[in-house]
Structure 1
Amino acid sequence: MSKYLLNKFLYTVDRDPELVERYREDPVGTVAWWEAEQANRILNCVGGESSTWLRFDDTERDALSTHDYPRLFELGAHPFLTLTLFIGLFERDHEPMGFQTEYARRLAHFTLPYPDIAT
């Protein structure tokens, strides 16, 4: 499991409106494409620099592919990254502040200490 890779996915997708829409409409395809094409690119680096070893495990891939943000939180994805991306994905389907309320409700079963978000 790589909390770094989960957070990198959330961070990079959230910063590209086209990727947000792609992830909303085709989460399985977007996760597969991102893992194959983007996961090993080094953040904030000139093209051509990459690693070769980063990949999601089945649990991470499944949670991302099904928009399962409570599971992502449980896996240690950073809650601010998760919340901002999922607001972009689903806020339009709710009344004002409705998605944030739904997010809080679905994560309400977590108690302190929260899952470790250190990468």
Structure 2
Amino acid sequence: MSKYLLNKFLFTVDRDPDLVERYRAEPRATVEWWESTYANRILGCHAGESSTWLSFDDTEREALATHDYPRLFELGAHPFLTLTLFIAMFERDHPPLGFQTEYARRLAHVRLPYPDIAT
């Protein structure tokens, strides 16, 4: 499991409006494409700089592919990254603050101490 890679996915997708829409419409295909294309790029470097060892495990891949943000939180994804990305994707389907309320409701079972979000 790689909290770094989960957070990197959430961070990079959230910052590209086209990727946000692609992830909303075709989550599984977007996760597979992103993993094969971006997972091993080094943040802040040009496209030629990359590593070779990063990949999602099956649990992470499934949580991303099904937009399962409570599971992503349990896996250690940063809550601010999940919240901002999923607001961008789903706020339009809810009344004002409706998605934020849904997010809180679906994470209400989580008690202190929260899952470790350090990468």
User: What is the CA-CA distance between 1:5 and the residue it aligns to?
Assistant: 0.1
User: What is the CA-CA distance between 1:112 and the residue it aligns to?
Assistant: 0.2
Distance in 1 of aligned mates of 2:63 and 2:40: 20
Following TM superposition, the consecutive aligned residue runs of length 4 or more in structure 1 with deviations greater than 3 angstroms are none
The equivalent residue for 2:5 is 5
CA RMSD, 1 decimal: 0.4
Residue 109 of structure 2 aligns to a residue whose secondary structure is: coil
Q: Matches of residues 5-44 of structure 1 in structure 2 within 5 Å?
A: 5-44=5-44
**Gap runs ≥5 in structure 2:** none
Distance in 1 of aligned mates of 2:47 and 2:13: 18
Distance in 2 of aligned mates of 1:49 and 1:12: 16
In structure 2, give the amino acid aligned to 1:106.
Answer: R
Give the TM-score normalised by structure 1.
0.99
Distance in 2 of aligned mates of 1:46 and 1:55: 20
User: What is the CA-CA distance between 1:46 and the residue it aligns to?
Assistant: 1.8
User: What is the CA-CA distance between 1:47 and the residue it aligns to?
Assistant: 2.3
Q: Matches of residues 68-107 of structure 1 in structure 2 within 5 Å?
A: 68-107=68-107
**Gap runs ≥5 in structure 1:** none
The equivalent residue for 1:116 is 116
Query: What is the identity percentage for the equivalent residue pairs of Structure 1 and Structure 2?
Result: 82
In structure 2, give the amino acid aligned to 1:56.
Answer: F
Give the TM-score normalised by structure 2.
0.99
Distance in 1 of aligned mates of 2:8 and 2:47: 17
Aligned residues between the structures: 119
Residue 50 of structure 2 aligns to a residue whose secondary structure is: coil
Q: Matches of residues 37-56 of structure 1 in structure 2 within 5 Å?
A: 37-56=37-56
